[in-house]
Chain A
């Protein structure tokens, strides 16, 4: 049976009344999903019936509707309390969701039009999906941003390293200092720092290091030797074989680099007794 035949058959009037055999109800419901013309026809029949019976009746006032909603909630709570406890526990989550949906249906039923009820239910589902998608999108944006940040950082570092004018500076342990050790071929390779220094931009990049961990009150501080005087290049962290690699302060014209151990935050003048690493250009 095609849609036109179905519409003129009179079956849709019975469908809206819900009096067709279950199989036919199902078939028409399924067909309405794929045939907009059929769905529209069903909606129109329904509207006609709803309007006709609404007109039979004195309309309830809003106050009365509100009273009704309260009464329905009170009655259904009473029924819920009579339900065995075991069932409630087992179905707890399911029941809660359905109750909210039902609340929407009943509130909508009493206060709004038919279309609004279905829209409400659909919106409920949609807004959940939209919230999920939004959360995922935000996660992706922040993930993307962190990739971009690290890509930019590596790009900057790479610019320094690939620069033919950049100087490679190896710092090794100063003899008999209280912190670092010189290389010992039998036990271990000793402490070291590998720096790149770009004289034209005055940027310093620390690409690798092997240093002992310091106490939380202490920090390593890098100095550039400019005209025989130490110039502060900034403090850095070395923890768990990781080093903070960028330096904020620029150094021009250095003839050597040195590292001291200073109180956290750094010092204005290097503590010479704590001089631990040194590398000449």
Chain B
């Protein structure tokens, strides 16, 4: 069983949204935690899991920051279509601490990674992702589901 940790997962998502700016990502995560801290009475389990709630806060905050002028001045604002290739290029640079982690990143095909990022990282629905990726909705749906299944299979076998 791999070490499971919300904060590292959320940091991973934020980091991808802000184009691998680790310092900025950590700052956004911290800001998100403050927001979570101040709004914890706003969390209702009837509207989703704790992770989903925190993911939404982190994602919205990170996306807002990429839209802000400061961010645009600091780095080129990446469009979603760049994301797929960008991530694949970055993969080699990551200093994965175990072989297991490196393998987990390679479990998914580039096409699968694209839909996973569209839904979880950018918060698109199936149909929104389909429109952005110029794919049929059915394809997005099955691709996402097969991606999650692959990850689950991999996690289970470890």
Interface residues of A (CB under 8 A from B): 8, 10, 13-20, 22, 25-26, 29-30, 42, 44-60, 65, 68, 71-72, 75-76, 79-80, 94, 98-99, 101-103, 105-106, 109-110, 112-115, 117-118
- What's the interface size class on B, roughly? 35 or more
B141 interface residue (CB < 8 Å to A) = yes
Q: Judging by beta carbons under 8 Å apart, are B119 and A17 in contact?
A: yes
Asked if B152 contacts A44 (CB within 8 A), the reply is yes
Q: Is the CB of B144 within 8 A of A10?
A: yes
Q: A16-B52, A109-B6 are in contact. Are A48 and B40 (CB under 8 A)?
A: no
- Contact B49 A106, beta carbon cutoff 8 Å: no
Question: Within the assembled complex, what's the spacing in Å between the Cα atoms of A8 and B12?
Answer: 27
Which single member of A54, A56, A71, A101 contacts B3 (CB below 8 Å)?
A54
Given contacts A17-B120, A53-B120, A54-B12, whether A113 and B37 have CB atoms under 8 Å apart is: no
Does B157 belong to the interface (CB within 8 Å)? no
B84 within 8 A of A: no
Q: Which residues from A are CB-within-8-Å of B15?
A: 56-57
| List of B residues within 8 angstroms of A76 by Cβ | 34, 37-38
Of A57, A98, A110, which contacts B12 at CB under 8 A? A57
A105 (CB) vs chain B CBs: closest residue: B40
Q: List 18 additional contacts besides A17-B120, A55-B96; criterion CB under 8 Å.
A: A10-B142, A14-B119, A16-B120, A17-B55, A18-B123, A51-B104, A55-B102, A55-B105, A56-B105, A57-B15, A68-B7, A94-B41, A101-B40, A103-B37, A109-B6, A109-B33, A110-B33, A113-B3
Cα distance A243–B155 when bound, in Å? 78
B50 adjacent to A117 (CB under 8 Å):
yes
Contact yes or no, B9 A50, CB < 8 A: yes
Quick check: is B70 within 8 A (CB to CB) of the other chain?
Answer: no
Contact A18 B55 (CB under 8 A): yes
Residue B126 CB within 8 A of the other chain: yes
Whether A47 pairs with B4 at a CB distance below 8 angstroms is: yes
Contact A54 B48, CB 8 Å, known A17-B123, A59-B97, A68-B33 = no
Among A54, A68, A71, A80, the residue within 8 A (CB) of B5 is A54
A residues near B104, Cβ cutoff 8 Å = 51-52, 55
In angstroms, Cα B38 to Cα A105, docked, is 11
Looking at the assembled complex, report how far the CB atom of A8 sits from the nearest CB atom of chain B, in whole angstroms. 8
User: In whole angstroms, how far apart are the Cα atoms of A55 and B145 in the complex?
Assistant: 19
- Chain A nearest Cβ from B63, distance in angstroms: 13
Residues of A within 8 Å of B125, CB to CB, are 14, 19-20
Assembly CA distance A30 to B48 (angstroms): 9
Min CB distance, A54 to chain B, in Å?
4
Task: Write the chain B residue with the least CB distance to A8.
Answer: B145
CB <8 Å contact, A50 and B7? no
Contact A26/B47 with A55-B105, A72-B30, A72-B34 known, Cβ cut-off 8 Å: yes
7 CB < 8 A contacts A-B: A10-B141, A13-B148, A29-B45, A56-B12, A105-B37, A114-B50, A118-B50
Contact partner, A113, options B5, B41, B47, Cβ 8 Å: B5
List chain A residues, Cβ under 8 A from B56. Answer: 18
Evaluate contact between B33 and A65: CB separation under 8 angstroms: no
Alpha-carbon gap, A89 to B3, bound state (A)? 42
Contact indicator B9/A98 (Cβ below 8 Å): no
Q: Contact: A13 with B119, CB < 8 Å?
A: yes
The reply to whether B9 and A49 form a contact with Cβ atoms under 8 Å apart is yes
Q: How far is the CA of A106 from the CA of B33 in the complex (A)?
A: 7
Residues of B within 8 A of A54 (CB): 2-5, 8-9, 12
User: Inside 8 A of A50's CB, which chain B residues have their CB?
Assistant: 4-6, 9, 51
